[in-house]
A = this chain, B = another copy of it.
Amino acid sequence: MMEIIVIGTGNLGFHLCKAIENQKVVKNSAFAKAKNNNVKNSLKLVGYYNNSARVMTDLKAPLLDSIHNLPQADLVIIATPDDDIAQVSAALKTRAIVAHTSGSVSIEAVAHHKNHGVFYIPQSFSKTREMDFSTLPICLEFNNVTAQKVLEDLGNTLSRKLTHLNSEQRGRLHIAAVYMNNFVNHCYTKADQILNDAQVDASLLYPLMNETLAKAQDLSPLQAQTGPARRNDEQTIARHLKSLKSNDRAMYEAITQSIKNTYGN
């Protein structure tokens, strides 16, 4: 039985707690059985901490009242905002393995603990959306085999997609995720605004949105690129710029220029 404490119950921490508890519930499923052949531990959420002292009714584990006085556990997962990780880590008096969950923070932030690591899931979590952990990539880093063993056991119990990344690679992955998620989503937002202003139903573009993604995964986005910037169609670009709101032009121009640079236009 692996005993786990989660510090921070934002979107990721909350889903992580739920996944750890649900793993126990589903341990008679074929998937969990197969997993249990590979991992020695089943999982137990010993407790969680959030700084709003808010009891999570979805969880059976107790809310802990302080991070300075943690109960016994094998693993403490720090799922706080990036800027709080080093401070929380420094405050923890524990002999457990300590891991943080951030894409952009180095493993050094928890290096104060003898056995430490990183348990990073490159996904965007929301409390209102269910998440199937078994299909999620989990990127591990660790300072020794003790931390490796525990983090791999946890990772293999939750997911089929475990990988090892060092802090440098994880940082690059995190920047890539900003493009793939934050920037892509903002392009969706701009498209939505344009359609709303023109009183056109935004769902008209859902098939294009779906095909854009499918084609990028099927061909590669570099090959899949089309549009006025790709074919250097200055007339259309000028017409678009003219019809955009003035504070939308800088972003349109910058992406257009980057496409031109990419294809040597």
Q: Is the CB of B262 within 8 A of A189?
A: yes
A58 proximal to B (CB < 8 A): no
Cα distance A108–B53 when bound, in Å? 65
Task: Say what secondary structure dominates the interface of chain A.
Answer: helix
Count of identical protomers in the assembly: 2
| Residue in B104, B173, B180, B209 whose CB lies within 8 Å of A236 | B104
A55 proximal to B (CB < 8 A): no
Q: Is the CB of B104 within 8 A of A255?
A: no
* Inter-chain pairs besides A126-B224, A183-B190, 11 sampled, C-beta below 8 Å: A104-B239, A122-B204, A124-B211, A172-B195, A176-B195, A180-B188, A180-B208, A181-B208, A189-B225, A192-B222, A206-B217
| Residue in B136, B169, B204, B251 whose CB lies within 8 Å of A258 | B251
Which residues on B sit within 8 Å (CB–CB) of A205? 122, 173, 176-177, 180
Nearest Cβ distance between residue A238 and chain B, in whole angstroms?
Answer: 12
Q: Is the CB of B240 within 8 A of A180?
A: no
What is the interface of chain A, defined by CB distance below 8 A to chain B?
A: 82-83, 104, 122-124, 126, 128-129, 135-137, 139, 161, 163, 165, 168-169, 171-173, 175-195, 197-222, 224-230, 233, 235-236, 239-240, 243-244, 247-248, 250-251, 253-255, 257-259, 261-262
Q: Is the CB of B207 within 8 A of A137?
A: yes
Top 4 closest pairs, chain A to chain B, by CB: A182-B227, A254-B254, A172-B198, A188-B221
Q: A185-B225, A211-B124 known; A169 and B199 CB under 8 Å?
A: yes
